[in-house]
Amino acid sequence: VGGGGGNVAINKRLTGARGAAELLAVVSVDVARFNAVNVCTTLQRLARLAQERGGGGDGSDDALDALASRASAAFSAELPAPRQVSGILWACAKLGAAPGARGACLRARLAPAQAAAEGVLAREASLGAHFRPQELSNALWAVAKSGRVVEGGEDTGAAIDALANAAEASLRRIGTDARARESEAWAPQALSNVAWALGTIAAAERSVRDSALPAARALATCVRARRAELNPQEVANTLWAFGRLVDAYASANPGGADAPFAADARALAGHASEATAGTSNEHSDAARGRAIVFPPRQLASCVWGCAKLGCALGGLLRAVGSCAQRRQFNAQEACMCAYALGASGADAASPDTMAVFDQCAEGMCTPSGGREAPYSAQQLSMVASAAAKLGLAHPSLIDALITALGADAGAAGCVGEGEGVLSRADTVDLVNLTWAVAKLRGERAPKRLVAPLAVEATRRAASSTLTLRHAVTLLWSLATAAHREESAVRALVCALADLLACEQSQVRMPSTRDLSDLAWALGSLRPQAEACASDALSRLLPALGEAAADAFDRFNSQELLKLLTAYERAGGECARLAGLASAERTLSYDFPAIEETPSRAHGCACGDAFDVKLAAAVPRAGGEGEDRVDDSCGGTGRSNTGVALWQGSYFLAEWLARVGACLGGGKEIEEGAAVLRSVLPRKGGWACEDFSWADRIGVELGAGLGLPSIVAARRLGVRMVATDGDADTLSFLRRNARANSRADDDIEAVSVRELRWGDARPLAAIELERKPDLLLASDVVYGNDESKWRDLVQTISHLSGRHTLVLLANMQRYPVHHPLSEDRFFSATLAEAGFEVKRVPQAGLHPRARGTGGANSCALYACRKASKEERKTAKAARKAAKKGAKRAETGAEGANNKGGSKAARKAARKAAKRARREEAADGTRKRARA
């Protein structure tokens, strides 16, 4: 019987069917009369049966074809309810998730049904407003899970937009209300599913679509408010999703702006870290003090998401180490954890970090046919890149990499015929792995490890499958690893000549870092390039010079110095580049709080906006035997680096202009304000409510062009003394101070004095009668020349009194715990000199300065001279720590004797293992210095 009653009866038979056979029998008889409700019921029951039977019971192909066809007809005849649209999308995604060829077959057969549901949403966008939260969650999850994001066409994109818009409106209206009626409330699982869907869609499209951005912001707000309600799996899925979203947003916005939903997402990361350690401070009695236990898979997703969000791992790190020590991670999970450790700048010497890399090293040595498949190229590159970022060149890890690439090493003499892991590698993974090997060992990289990578790089270059960035990174890596085999050099130089010419013909601008790295590599490999690829080199060098001239204003100082010196060493000549390098430039900056930074309304009102114009130049090449003021850029031979503006100077000046007068900033960086208040000098009236900068004296060390001094004088009213030790720099500094002084200043706001670090009487040298109230320095620590560190610390100490606030900004070139990290200067050297040192949280800095807080991030330190009592306490603590270490060493030596107990021998083995790790770290430090 047809009509509505017929469809109701059909639906009763469908819901009453006791298995797939009875269900398919109803389909074979009545499918021609199915309406949207019947199609939805059938597909959902088939999906649940398949799920219950572990993938079986998904129905015959003929029945699925008939259902898909009928769905298209039913949706064309009538406008289905949101429940049917969501249900059909969910069922198709579940059925299509079957593994292997069966899943591919099901996805193809069910595609018409999915397209019909998506078409309804595309045509009737307003239908999304009638979806309940669970229906929105299921529909978005299904579209993301089905894999149709890229393949589905315009209707799929329109359906995603309609669902994302509806989800955003619903989340803003009732997302934070957990007490709404059950049918209308956003359950924690629904929030997690929407997050997963948005993250998966963003990863597939490599950007966050316009409709998904507001939805992600609304979702992050709700998750932050209700984070204590999420179970471990929901926390893990949501963190993973936000990591994907942040990654995609950064790819589409290379300027460095923070994703608008990132701050709320980081609150969930903090909750996961605290709750894992059992230190959660949530308001609910159920959540307070309750530790979350993440299974290994969810734990790996959590730490991966935290790393992408730029969050410290905190309590999660110990849980990761515990799982790794018990070898509970599978290969992919261990690699995700290794990536997170590298991205977050974990301590390479900690037992938790070593446990993860030890498990990875064991996994790399897994032979074919073992319990787990051998590591893929992607997994190898993840582990090696993380180790390189941490400076962890442990011998066991290098040996494991050699073992993992054994098949390729055997074929290293046969270009293009290798059958190992590299021949199946994605180009990005090959490039990352080669870069990591070069960073790990430099010129000491074993030939058995570099040779197969060079062979595969040669093959890819010859087959024209590389992008410009890929080819530059490969050539840089081979130069760093001192691999000068001519076939690889020839292939890459020829490929780069063609690629750079193609970029210029299509008016595409290569990145400044690629250009400087390319110049450095060509300078290092010049003899080999001239011998085996002279024609390509003669085309490449002029093109490189012109490209650098086109991008001249986009280079930062470090990149520009590196490029100019390396370009000369490579034999390059470009009149236009030389002309630009020899000419003076005018740099303009607007203050305060510009570009992506929060508006002034959210900070503290410190006066009117103003602009600063600076005269600048490119540092000249230094002559032999010239007295160097610093060792910037790793000894490039350019002696007057202060005539260029370095990134740390801008970020310190921007911070002073925006929050300096508030001693910690506005409400949007309350954490930063608290840190700064805690380290303010005890004397000098810094804590008074009516504090004023008027009549305060400030000094800047290594002022260069003087930007922080000018801003402190113009914005805060401090009487600044800008100092430097180079004659050329002092000339520019005086010009800039005069050009940016205010006409109504009765007294010179910024005076300029010569001062070299280590001067025994610095106050007399800069003509001050008392120690300053404010001491500034930016990007003055570069490299590891400890004599210059000692001179700088001595000068800072001589100029600092109990009333002096010291602010130091520095661009981090290495992760925090790397053996060569600049952070150890600030955290250890200054502390030993009697200073209390606090790092201002990254959230308080300019968005482009934040990063993850490690390499390529700006660090801002606030310091004050500790009192005699505080210095005495700190010294006693350091002395006690040294004594404890010595006692442990003595006990370990005694335990090595034959009569030692089992526990003592175990402690001795642990001590010996720590000593080997420290020895390896020392070796890494020495090689990097060399």
Query: What pLDDT does 661 receive?
Result: 66
Residue 298 has pLDDT above 70, yes or no: yes
Looking only at the bridges linking them, the beta strands covering 697-701 and 719-724 are parallel
From the list 46, 18, 183, the residue with the least C-alpha distance to 106 is 46
Burial state string for 266-286 with b = 16 or more CB within 10 A and e = fewer than 16 = bbbbbbbbbbbbeebebeeee
What is the Cα–Cα distance from 312 to 319, expressed in whole angstroms?
14
Can you read off the two tokens belonging to residue 112? 């018409």
Clarify whether residues 534 and 666 are in a common domain. no
Segment 327-341 shows an average pLDDT of 95
Whether residue 465 lies inside any domain: the answer is yes
555 and 698 in one domain? no
Burial of 827 (0-12, 13-18, 19+ CB in 10 A): middle
Report how far residue 269's alpha carbon sits from residue 59's, in angstroms, rounded to the nearest whole number. 42
- Is the C-alpha dihedral spanning 148, 152, 154, 156 positive or negative? negative
Q: Across the chain, what does the average pLDDT equal?
A: 82
What is the band of 782 on the pLDDT scale with cuts at 50, 70, 90?
A: low
Identify residue 704 by its one-letter amino acid code.
G
Sign of CA dihedral 523, 529, 533, 535: positive
∠ CA 750-753-759, rounded to 5°:
135
Report whether 215 contacts 222 (CB < 8 A). no
For the chain, what is the radius of gyration of the CA atoms?
A: 31
Q: Hey, what are 196's tokens?
A: 């997963």
* Same domain, residue pair 490 and 603: no
Closest CA to 269 of 285, 246, 286, 250: 246
Here the tokens at position 302 are 């959590």
CA 732/CA 737 separation, integer angstroms: 9
Mean pLDDT for 494-502 is 93
Cβ 199 vs Cβ 240: under 8 Å: yes
Residue 451 lies in a domain: yes
Encoded amino acid at 387, one letter: A
Q: What is the average per-residue pLDDT within 176-183? A: 68
Residues forming beta bridges with residue 497, ordered by sequence position? none
> What is the per-residue pLDDT for 315?
86
Do 715 and 757 lie in one domain? The reply is yes
Rounded CA-CA distance 361/294 in Å is 24
Provide the domain limits for residue 491.
Answer: 427-579
Angle between helices 468-480 and 427-441 (to 10 degrees): 30
The answer to whether 700 and 652 are in contact (CB under 8 A) is no
In a domain, residue 912? The reply is yes
Query: Which helix (H) or strand (E) covers residue 309, if one does?
Result: none
Question: Is residue 716 located within the same domain as residue 859?
Answer: yes
* pLDDT surpassing 60 at residue 667: no
Whether the CB-CB separation of 628 and 622 falls below 8 Å is answered with yes
**Which whole-number Å values give the CA distances from 322 to 276, 353, 356, 382, 913, in the listed order?**
12, 10, 9, 21, 18
Whether 524 shows a pLDDT value over 90: the answer reads yes
pLDDT of residue 823: 75
pLDDT at residue 585 is higher than 90: no
Contacts of 431 (CB under 8 A, 6+ apart): 470, 473, 474, 477
The residues that bridge with 863 in the sheet, in sequence order, are 806, 837
Same-domain pairing of 646 and 748: yes
Distance between alpha carbon 142 and the CA centroid of its chain, in Å? 29
Would you state the pLDDT for residue 597? 35
Do 620 and 563 belong together in one domain?
Answer: no
* Bridge partners, 776 (sequence order): 700, 807
Shared domain check, 595 and 572: no
Paired residues of 613 in beta bridges: 588
Backbone angles phi, psi at 798, to 5 degrees: -65, -30
- Position 781 in a domain: yes
The answer to whether position 585 is within a domain reads no
Do residues 880 and 859 share a domain? Answer: no
Query: What are the residues whose beta carbons fall under 8 Å from the beta carbon of 294, sequence distance 6 or more?
Result: 232, 235, 236, 276, 302, 316, 319
What's the domain count of the chain? Answer: 3
Tens of pLDDT, residue by residue over 204-261, are: 988 888 999 999 999 999 999 999 999 999 999 999 999 999 999 988 876 666 788 9
Give the model's pLDDT for residue 640. Answer: 56
Among 179, 276, 171, residue whose Cα is nearest residue 223: 171
Q: 747 exposed, middle or buried (CB, 10 Å; 0-12, 13-18, 19+)? A: exposed
Beta partners for residue 808, in sequence order: 777, 861
More confident: 95 or 905: 95
Q: Pick 883 or 594 by higher pLDDT.
A: 883
Q: Where is the domain boundary, 866, 890, 909?
A: 866
- pLDDT (0 to 100) of residue 692: 79
Answer yes or no: is 501 within a domain: yes
pLDDT at 663: 62
Confidence of residue 629 (pLDDT cuts 50, 70, 90): very low
Q: Is a pLDDT exceeding 80 seen at residue 131?
A: yes
Q: Are residues 900 and 853 in the same domain?
A: no
Residue 216 and residue 195: Cα distance in Å, rounded?
7
Residue with tokens 């319990």: 371
**Percentage of the chain lying above the pLDDT 90 cut:** 43
Answer whether residue 163 shows pLDDT above 80: yes
- Residue pair 205/149 in contact (Cβ under 8 Å)? The answer is yes
Q: Is the distance from CB of 295 to CB of 323 less than 8 angstroms? A: no
Write the CATH number for 716: 3.40.50.150
524, 546, 579 — which closes off a domain? 579
pLDDT grade, residue 632 (50/70/90)?
A: very low
Task: Sort strands 750-754 and 774-778 into parallel, antiparallel or unpaired.
Answer: unpaired
Whether residue 391 is predicted with pLDDT greater than 70 in this model: the reply is yes
- Please count the residues of the chain: 930
Residue where one domain finishes, among candidates 579, 603, 630: 579
Locus of tokens 């005086």: 734
DSSP conformation letters of 129-145? GG--HHHHHHHHHHHHH
Residues 552 and 629 both lie in one domain: no
Span of 241-245, 272-276, 607-611 with lowest mean pLDDT: 607-611
Q: At what angle do helices 82-96 and 100-123 cross, to 10 degrees?
A: 160
The pLDDT score that the predictor gives to residue 814 is 76
> Looking at the structure, do residues 571 and 600 belong to the same domain, yes or no?
no
d(CA 391, CA 378): 20
What sign has the CA pseudo-torsion 872, 875, 879, 884? positive
Per-residue DSSP letter, 664 = S
Query: Taking Cα atoms as reference points, which of 314, 349, 163 lies closest to residue 922?
Result: 349
**Across 764-769, average pLDDT:** 94
Lowest mean pLDDT among 521-530, 630-639, 653-662: 630-639
User: 601 CB contacts (<8 Å, ≥6 apart)?
Assistant: none
pLDDT of 718: 92
Q: What percent of the residues of the chain are helix, what percent strand, and what percent coil, each to the nearest 5?
A: 60, 5, 30
What's the rounded Cα separation, in Å, for the pair 309 and 312?
A: 9
- Is 514 part of a structural domain of the chain? yes
How many angstroms separate the CA atoms of 177 and 663, rounded?
A: 37
Q: Which of 31, 13, 32 minimizes the C-alpha distance to 22?
A: 13
Taken in order 98, 104, 110, 114, the sign of the CA dihedral is positive
Strands of the sheet with 750-754, listed across from one edge: 750-754, 719-724, 697-701, 774-778, 805-811, 858-865, 835-839
CB atoms inside a 10 Å sphere around CB 370: 10
pLDDT tens figures, 691-744: 778 779 999 999 999 999 999 998 888 999 999 988 888 999 999 999 998 766
CB 146, CB 117: distance < 8 Å: no
Asked if residue 813 belongs to a domain, the reply is yes
